[in-house]
Amino acid sequence: MHQKFSICFISFFFLFFFMLMNLFMMIYFIISNLTIMIEWEIISFNSISIVMSILLDWMSLLFMMFVLLISSSVIYWKKSYMSSEINLNRFIILVIMFVLSMILLIISPNIISILLGWDGLGLISYCLVIYYQNVKSYNAGMLTALSNRIGDVMILMVIAWMLNYGSWNYIYYLMFMKNDFFMNVISIMIILAAMTKSAQIPFSSWLPAAMAAPTPVSALVHSSTLVTAGVYLLIRFNLLLEDMFMLKILLLFSGLTMMMAGISANYEYDLKKIIALSTLSQLGLMMSILSMGYGDLAFFHLLTHAMFKALLFMCAGVLIHMMNDNQDIRMMGGLSIFIPVTSLCFNISNMALCGIPFLAGFYSKDLILEVTMMSNLNMMVLYLYYFSTGLTMFYTIRLMMYLMINDFNLMSVYNLYDEDYIMLKSMMILLFMSLISGSMLSWMIFCYPYMIFMSLNMKLMVIYVSLMGGMMGWLVSKMNIYSVNKFLMMYNLNMFFTLMWFMPNLSVYGFNYYILSFSKNLYKNIDMGWSELFSGYGMFNLIKNYSLISMIYQMNNFKIYLFSFVFWMLLIMLMILV
């Protein structure tokens, strides 16, 4: 890799250039309230026309801009992180294909081209998860691919069902078809597809498992692009989904996802899995505010979250490199003394995640919580929201105490360095963005601002909850191996929370196992059994038997001649005599 321009730099340059182009276009579009649709008819068959269409409005341009910014800085970062990789070109090409399929998904208002982008995301994410070739990666990749396949099938069924309407451009008749019963069926399928992609509760086991991927992939894929595809799809379908009963179920599930992920993150010791679970928690937040009908708030949180979560993963990657490829947070500690700049990035992105005022996460998260407070919902939903906010602070403070404050474990001394300027430069881009993007976006995208009006204590509820969560996190991180461990008194409950409410077990042993063993039986009994007996082997046997019979005649033709001669002679004589 001693060329003047490496593939990483070239990819970075082009992606960054497109990002700037998108930025200027986005500002123009948002201020002139412009939407552009480009259609290209591929085939027209009777009354069905299959078109390739492109939708450019401020939402798609803004999302594209964020995806390109994150992917460009991640690719630039990769030059240092994956410098010892042999197949770097293959890796970069995979990542760029991933970004392209995400962009295809973003700009398409057509369910067929959405399926193209959607399937591209699924397939390439599978390839990226199994990039490090070992059994754990294979299992994680298979879990990811199979969980996402449910969503793919749902979208395929939506395509099949939309044949009735003669067009797959759902954007055109979202309002028109709102009270149609079959459109409700379609939107239920769309919600299910989005739930698989965004890892909501029945399907959420794949997101932490997918952390077997290389860290740059996690930074790009599992924080900002792949998992937000479901949220983005639902934002696009938002008009259709208003006042649906399924949305209330989605609200419950996403609220539970938020809480489940927050609790599990507190029991986790794997650095990347903690971050993955916090992603899951934020996804639940997005989905739940979306299911209350505030698509723009979900979009806002999606964007700010993408920024600081990508930065968080990149810092985690640096830490993992330094710790001799060890991901266990118990092996780390006191890092703020040894690697101050990376720790700075890590802490700022963590604080933004918690919603500390005037960082990126504050603007979106606080707005979401206040809008929840303002809207007419029951106590349970509010409890889920606020409890999860406290849990965010809980696991973040715990993680920070383990990594930054506690004593250094001397796991690796030789590796500690903070002068990798390639990594630092790309992290600085995202650091800057996670400082300003919240404020910038809240001015930029809210043409119609939200009015928030509530009493002082309700306004400060977020702060109270965060303070309590932070205190709990500090207390939990004080736990030592020789301290009196009350966790063992509730061992079963402990396991329940550690294993994400047994969801990985349910979706692997409980679901995939039975389906796979059922298909093994089908293979044994149908493919290799009955259908073989009746079609392949059976037909051969039948023809063989018939040809054996005719062979008997052929082999014995002299005897048969004589026999038939005698027989006919006897017959004729009998006829003459009678």
Partner 1 sequence: MGNLLGSFNARNVNLNMDDKPTFDPQEGFSYERKPREMIAKEEDLISARIPPKYRDYCAHHLLEYQVCRYKNVPLMYKCAHEKHAYLNCEHQDYVMRMKEFERERRLRVRENRLIGVA
Find the part of the chain contacting partner 1 (CB under 8 A) among 61-69, 286-294, 298-306, 444-452.
444-452
Residue 380 lies near partner 1 (rule: CB under 8 A):
no
Residue 150 lies near partner 1 (rule: CB under 8 A):
no
What residues pair up with 39 in beta bridges, in sequence order? 53
Q: What x-and-dash track marks residues 456-495 binding partner 1 by CB under 8 A? A: --x-------------------------------------
To the nearest whole angstrom, how small is the minimum distance from the Cβ of residue 296 to partner 1? Answer: 12
Distance from C-alpha of 22 to C-alpha of 27, rounded to nearest angstrom: 9
Residue ranges of alpha helices (H) inside 412-535 are 421-445, 456-459, 461-477, 491-498, 503-505, 513-522, 531
In terms of residues, how long is the chain? 578
Touching partner 1, residues 194-223 (CB under 8 A): none
Q: Are 305 and 207 in contact (CB under 8 A)?
A: no
Q: Which is nearer to partner 1, 31 or 36 (CB)?
A: 31
Residue 528 lies near partner 1 (rule: CB under 8 A):
no
| Cα 83 to Cα 7, 87, 251, distances in angstroms | 12, 10, 44
Touching partner 1, residues 381-420 (CB under 8 A): 382
To the nearest whole angstrom, how small is the minimum distance from the Cβ of residue 454 to partner 1? Answer: 4
- For 538, the enclosing helix (H) or strand (E) is helix 537-555
* Burial class of residue 444 (count of CB atoms within 10 Å of its CB; 0-12, 13-18, 19+): middle
Residue 36 lies near partner 1 (rule: CB under 8 A):
no
Cβ atoms within 10 Å of 96's Cβ, excluding its own: 17
Residue choice 135, 449, 492, 574 for contact with partner 1 (CB under 8 A): 449
Q: Which is nearer to partner 1, 37 or 52 (CB)?
A: 37
Residue 373 lies near partner 1 (rule: CB under 8 A):
yes
Residue 377 lies near partner 1 (rule: CB under 8 A):
yes
To the nearest whole angstrom, how small is the minimum distance from the Cβ of residue 1 to partner 1? Answer: 39
Could you report how far apart the first and last alpha carbons of the chain are, in Å?
108
Residue 243 lies near partner 1 (rule: CB under 8 A):
no
Distance from C-alpha of 395 to C-alpha of 270, rounded to nearest angstrom: 12
Q: Identify the CA nearest to 503 among candidates 232, 263, 218.
A: 263
Which residues, other chains included, contact 397 with Cβ-Cβ below 8 Å and sequence gap of 6+? 469, 470, 472, 473, 474, 477
Residue choice 378, 545, 550, 554 for contact with partner 1 (CB under 8 A): 378
Q: Identify the CA nearest to 224 among candidates 339, 319, 130, 349.
A: 349
Residue choice 48, 447, 543, 562 for contact with partner 1 (CB under 8 A): 447
To the nearest whole angstrom, how small is the minimum distance from the Cβ of residue 66 to partner 1? Answer: 16
Residue 356 lies near partner 1 (rule: CB under 8 A):
no
Residue 21 lies near partner 1 (rule: CB under 8 A):
no
Q: In this structure, what DSSP letter does residue 412 have? A: -
Residue 31 lies near partner 1 (rule: CB under 8 A):
yes
Residues touching partner 1, count (CB under 8 A): 22
Contact residues for partner 1 (CB under 8 A)? 27, 31, 33, 373-379, 382, 439, 443-444, 447-449, 451, 453-455, 458
